[in-house]
Structure 1
Amino acid sequence: MMQDNANLSVLVVDPNPGMRASLQNMLNQAGINKVESAVNASTAIKQLAKRAYDIILCEYDLGGPQGDGQDGQQLLEDLRQHRLITASTIFIMLTSEGVYDKVVSAAELTPTDYVLKPFTVDMLSTRIKRALERRTALLPVWQLAAQGKPLDAIRACATAALTSPRYALDFLRLRAELHVSVGEQREAGALYRDVLAERPLGWAGLGLARTMVAQGQVEEARDTLAQLVQANPRLMAAYDLLARCHEQLGASNDAQKVLEEAVSISPHMVRRLRKLGEVAMENGDAEAAEKSFKQVVNKARYSEFRNPEDHVNLVKALVTRGDVQGASGVIRDLERSMRGSANADACKSFSNALLHEKMGNVSAAVAELQMAVSATRTSSGLSSHLKIGLAQACLEHQMDEQASSVMMTVMHDASSPVTVDEAMGVFVRAGRPDLADGMGQQLRAQAQILLGVADEKRNMGDVRGAVQTLMEALHMAPGNQAVMVAVAGGILRQVSELGWDHSLSVVAAGQIERLRALDPGHPRLAALGEEFQQAKRKFGISS
């Protein structure tokens, strides 16, 4: 074991120099000599951006005596969300924290393990050994998944469960998640049901509910999740999904209640607090929204991934409640702490516009909206939610051109969850169907240009680039038959030349089906269908 440990790299994250030295000593005794340390979350993130570690030992209470900085749970949330650690990274939380809610928050983000202080060398060695054994067993499957071979990974899970029966449940769970990743919800659901038939494990119930939501069985999922949170009141992700089901079913007040309950159990998850604020705001509960967004701004203050949009949300809530002074203070904080980026500039100008509007200073509000729109053009990563809010504010001030230009940036973002119909709905609800029509024409024209760009890329031999361009065209003109045909054909060409890609094949199948529904006699339909079947046969794809 000691010899095996010699190649392991460990990052110790702890603000206390005495504890860092003690952990270094313990790890050395366990045969681990490649040890680096970070004094807080910010330093840890910078180090993890440069290189990967096998193991991270992280103190929960990272704030130190002043309580400034992120805690271990917020760090883990950032690392997972921004993919700075992989499934195979062993993350062990070290804590002497007896406070129940904090440990729940940490547990819901599934660290590999957490160890309560004080602990001995033997105790720490045993936990590391156990984590390494599990990692060794699961690593081949994780590697196949990372290489974009989910179907091979699924087959490997089934085999490995027989050779390593100790981790049979881990493999079953991983297999189900892989089925979900390639859109095979029914197969995943069947695996989760198999587990639940043996014992009522929370993760299996949650997985089953997720497959139901993906298949449009939202009411069934809601009922399953309501029972699940009663039986597992600490299964926090189940509350999030239950809230989403309520939202999809039009019961946003119920969604807010569920999120409030989750926050009362586990109050440190920034993503959930943000969602609660958004839902409360939509429900017209500005007081609850203010409370949530205040916590989001405070908790994210020391994150390397601070989001200036949180300040805008808080300003909106404060302005709605008539707290002009409070809103001014939040804008000053945004200016002071995040100046210099186009995103922060857009958020600051939008926030100022909301404040001026509340104070009846219309010309100042319009000037700030102009600046927000300009900053949006050079920004990257602003959410569709913020941009839609900005477009709506422009429409209220008859700033038609600016509203249209902001909505076009939403539609140019192929990763945006906002559909063309939803974007146009913003204009229609504002009483401007003419602007919706204008945007529709513009998008169709741009999609046509992108088809030409994709052709050029394909002729240059860049089949992958061609497909990326076609996906952008599809986002802009989802109902356009020429785009559907081009997307399906482009994907099948890429598959034929570069190998099977399940997520793209799902898109191709969807476009072929949609074309069949719209125009069963389309001249390209039969050939595309046959080409798709040939590709499946070539790569041995059964489903």
Structure 2
Amino acid sequence: MAEYSDLSVLIVDPNPGMRGSLHNMLNQAGITKIDYAVSSGTAIRQLGKKPFDIVLCEYDLGNGSGENNGQDGQQLLEDLRLHKLILPSTIFIMLTSEGVYSKVIGAAELTPTDYVLKPFTVDALLQRIRKAVERRDVFLPIHQLVEMGSIRKAVAECLIAEEKNPRYAIDFARLRAELLVTLEELAEAEVVYQVILMTRPIAWAHLGMARCQFGQQKYIEAQDTLQDLLTHNPKFMAAYDLLARTHEALGQQESAKKILEDAVAISPNMVHRLRHLGEVAYETGDVGVAEKAFKQVVAKAKYSEFRDPEDHVKLVKTLVKKGDANQASGVIRDMERSLRASANVEACRAIAAGLLQEMSGNITAAAAELTTAVNAIGASRGLSTGLKIGLVHSCLNVKLDQQASDLMLNLMNDTESGVSMDDAVQVFEKAGRHDLAAGMGEQIKHHVEELIAHAAEQRGQGDLRAAVDTLNAALRKAPANMSLLPAATSAILKQLDDLGWEVPLAEQCAFLLERMRKIDPAHPSLEALQAQYSHTQRKYGIATTA
């Protein structure tokens, strides 16, 4: 089997005898590029250094020292997929006993490429590898296009491959739909799923269609699709997650909590779902369920290389709401003792300590801790927007007005935060601080005026693309600002007229015109901008409905 000599394999198994046995089996297939990991942590470190074609992973990993208290193979796979440490083309084969397999397969969350049941022969293992490699090679050209960022070309190639490879036609259609979702072409992706379902009632196609419906804010349709899916596939776990989010989108928090509780009862080990359950339970005031969920998150993530200190903050917040100062103190001590020092950990520790001090009535001590948290946030990376907005509220509670305003301004200026200027004003309004909201509004107005003036300068100098980029950056901060919308629309129209028709830009222009129409149908610039858009369409021979 010389054709496999170039394959690289990572064996993840705490048992040295099993690692040696797998090594010998692979050698018989001509595979010699073999590395080892004795636990989930060492596997993650190995995969962080270089990619592997195949990962052979024991389900029951322990922690690499013979103790059964680490991550299992399914939790490792969750981390690897979530943090994109393995490519879509990586072959991940789980090695497990028949008894364990029967427990996990019904509620499998992130399915590996294949399962191999122990004990197995050399021929059985190599047959599974051969099958997986053959399938990978068929899909590899498209995966390579995706890795290069050529998503639209990959979509076109999927369509061709469906015709050329009837054996994998449905798999290529599925990949095509997923890539269309990546391109945010949800209506087109939904049609692909519908066509698949006309031939076979496949569970993942129902889920894909529901995701497209959810993304298009067709929440009732998504609910119906998911409820039908779960009626016929009551252990299709991802459907529970999306159904819960659908209920949340409709303001049905209690229903979302019940759905997540049902899902956790079926499949209790997925950290992301437990975290979601804790968050929804906290929002609905069910402190008992929130406490239990967050405790499980902290415990299950203990052996992960990707422990998130925010989980400790959520647990402390819940315990503070419960009035349990002793347990909250214990969680903070655990955070200090067990997490590696970093700006993220220091920010989370200080936030948690500030919550505890505020609960105890020590406002001065709380303010000191929260000031420390604000300073640490400046050096942190990757902390969630939700955590930072929570810190804004905590600062307001202890009269740290300047820190709260500075934090909110930083969030507005961070394009990754998703916080618009309107959102920032609303945070202060909801906190009952109309004075700070008004001050923030004035700062926002001044900032928007500066950006519009800067874009006008760029446009006057003939740099039309730069002007559009400046105004787009401003729109991300103030998407409904009625000084900004006409300026951005006008700049886009000027670029289209002078530099040529670009479909994505033209679609954005139409979207901005529609947004203006919804906000202020009598706006004095709207009619002229619409006429200019139609004129530019005709200039380039674009069909219009006018």
Letter of the structure 2 residue corresponding to residue 136 of structure 1: D
Aligned runs of 1:245-256 on 2, under 5 Å?
245-256=246-257
CA contact (8 A) 1:492 1:531 kept: no
Distance 1:172-1:370 versus aligned 2 partners, 3 A rule: same
- Give the Cα–Cα distance (whole angstroms) in 1 for the partners of residues 494 and 93 of structure 2: 44
- Give the Cα–Cα distance (whole angstroms) in 1 for the partners of residues 383 and 371 of structure 2: 17
Distance 1:271-1:328 versus aligned 2 partners, 3 A rule: same
Q: Report what 2:526 is aligned to.
A: 521
**Deviation of the 1:208 alpha carbon:** 1.0
Letter of the structure 1 residue corresponding to residue 9 of structure 2: V
1:424 and 2:429 are equivalent in the alignment:
no
Q: Report what 1:75 is aligned to.
A: 76
Greater Cα shift, 200-209 or 458-467: 458-467
Unaligned 5+ residue runs, structure 1? 538-543
CA contact (8 A) 1:61 1:72 kept: yes
**Deviation of the 1:131 alpha carbon:** 1.2
Distance 1:241-1:309 versus aligned 2 partners, 3 A rule: same
Q: Could you say what secondary structure the match of 2:240 adopts? A: helix
Aligned residues: 536
CA contact (8 A) 2:95 2:116 kept: yes
Q: Could you say what secondary structure the match of 1:56 adopts? A: strand
- Give the Cα–Cα distance (whole angstroms) in 1 for the partners of residues 428 and 468 of structure 2: 30
Aligned runs of 1:451-530 on 2, under 5 Å?
471-480=472-481, 483-484=484-485, 510-515=511-516, 517=518, 518=520, 519=523, 521=526
Distance 1:106-1:459 versus aligned 2 partners, 3 A rule: farther
Q: Report what 2:32 is aligned to.
A: 33
Q: Deviations over 1:352-374 (max 9, x none)?
A: 11111222222211221221122
Q: Report what 2:317 is aligned to.
A: 316
1:385 and 2:386 are equivalent in the alignment:
yes
1:239 and 2:240 are equivalent in the alignment:
yes
Distance 1:121-1:323 versus aligned 2 partners, 3 A rule: same
Aligned runs of 1:435-446 on 2, under 5 Å?
435-446=436-447
Q: Deviations over 1:152-189 (max 9, x none)?
A: 22221111111111101101111111222222222221
- Give the Cα–Cα distance (whole angstroms) in 1 for the partners of residues 185 and 133 of structure 2: 30
Q: Report what 2:196 is aligned to.
A: 195
**Deviation of the 1:445 alpha carbon:** 3.4
**Deviation of the 1:143 alpha carbon:** 2.2
CA contact (8 A) 1:104 1:266 kept: no
- Give the Cα–Cα distance (whole angstroms) in 1 for the partners of residues 455 and 49 of structure 2: 35
- Give the Cα–Cα distance (whole angstroms) in 1 for the partners of residues 358 and 349 of structure 2: 14
Distance 1:6-1:225 versus aligned 2 partners, 3 A rule: same
Q: Could you say what secondary structure the match of 2:269 adopts? A: coil
Letter of the structure 2 residue corresponding to residue 33 of structure 1: T
**Deviation of the 1:32 alpha carbon:** 1.1
Letter of the structure 1 residue corresponding to residue 6 of structure 2: N
**Deviation of the 1:443 alpha carbon:** 3.1
- Give the Cα–Cα distance (whole angstroms) in 1 for the partners of residues 203 and 49 of structure 2: 36
Distance 1:536-1:295 versus aligned 2 partners, 3 A rule: farther
Aligned runs of 1:77-92 on 2, under 5 Å?
77-92=78-93
Q: Deviations over 1:464-487 (max 9, x none)?
A: 998776554222121235654676
Aligned runs of 1:283-432 on 2, under 5 Å?
283-432=284-433
- Give the Cα–Cα distance (whole angstroms) in 1 for the partners of residues 279 and 256 of structure 2: 11
CA contact (8 A) 1:58 1:91 kept: yes
- Give the Cα–Cα distance (whole angstroms) in 1 for the partners of residues 230 and 435 of structure 2: 47
**Deviation of the 1:292 alpha carbon:** 0.7
Distance 1:131-1:100 versus aligned 2 partners, 3 A rule: closer
Q: Report what 1:47 is aligned to.
A: 46
- Give the Cα–Cα distance (whole angstroms) in 2 for the partners of residues 533 and 178 of structure 1: 32
Distance 1:475-1:328 versus aligned 2 partners, 3 A rule: same
Greater Cα shift, 449-458 or 313-322: 449-458
**Deviation of the 1:232 alpha carbon:** 0.9
Unaligned 5+ residue runs, structure 2? none
- Give the Cα–Cα distance (whole angstroms) in 2 for the partners of residues 117 and 191 of structure 1: 38
Q: Could you say what secondary structure the match of 2:439 adopts? A: helix
Aligned runs of 1:102-181 on 2, under 5 Å?
103-104=104-105, 107-181=108-182
CA contact (8 A) 1:15 1:39 kept: yes
Greater Cα shift, 312-321 or 100-109: 100-109
Q: Report what 1:207 is aligned to.
A: 208
CA contact (8 A) 1:447 1:476 kept: no
Distance 1:525-1:499 versus aligned 2 partners, 3 A rule: closer
Larger relative CO (CA 8 A, sep 6+): 1 or 2?
1
Letter of the structure 2 residue corresponding to residue 259 of structure 1: L
Give the TM-score normalised by structure 2. Answer: 0.89
Q: Deviations over 1:278-307 (max 9, x none)?
A: 000001111111111111111111222111
CA contact (8 A) 2:107 2:266 kept: no
Distance 1:463-1:54 versus aligned 2 partners, 3 A rule: farther
Q: CA RMSD in A?
A: 3.3
Q: Could you say what secondary structure the match of 2:303 adopts? A: coil
Q: Deviations over 1:442-469 (max 9, x none)?
A: 2343445556777999999999998776
CA contact (8 A) 2:57 2:93 kept: yes
Letter of the structure 1 residue corresponding to residue 13 of structure 2: D
- Give the Cα–Cα distance (whole angstroms) in 1 for the partners of residues 24 and 127 of structure 2: 16
- Give the Cα–Cα distance (whole angstroms) in 1 for the partners of residues 466 and 134 of structure 2: 41
Distance 1:493-1:20 versus aligned 2 partners, 3 A rule: farther
CA contact (8 A) 1:55 1:89 kept: yes
CA contact (8 A) 1:196 1:205 kept: yes
CA contact (8 A) 1:209 1:221 kept: yes
Greater Cα shift, 132-141 or 247-256: 132-141
Greater Cα shift, 131-140 or 178-187: 178-187
Distance 1:413-1:104 versus aligned 2 partners, 3 A rule: farther
Q: Could you say what secondary structure the match of 2:99 adopts? A: coil
Distance 1:419-1:476 versus aligned 2 partners, 3 A rule: closer
Q: Could you say what secondary structure the match of 2:10 adopts? A: strand
Q: Deviations over 1:402-421 (max 9, x none)?
A: 22222223222212244443
CA contact (8 A) 2:493 2:532 kept: no
CA contact (8 A) 2:366 2:398 kept: no
- Identity among equivalent pairs (%): 54
- Give the Cα–Cα distance (whole angstroms) in 2 for the partners of residues 311 and 67 of structure 1: 23
- Give the Cα–Cα distance (whole angstroms) in 2 for the partners of residues 498 and 11 of structure 1: 51
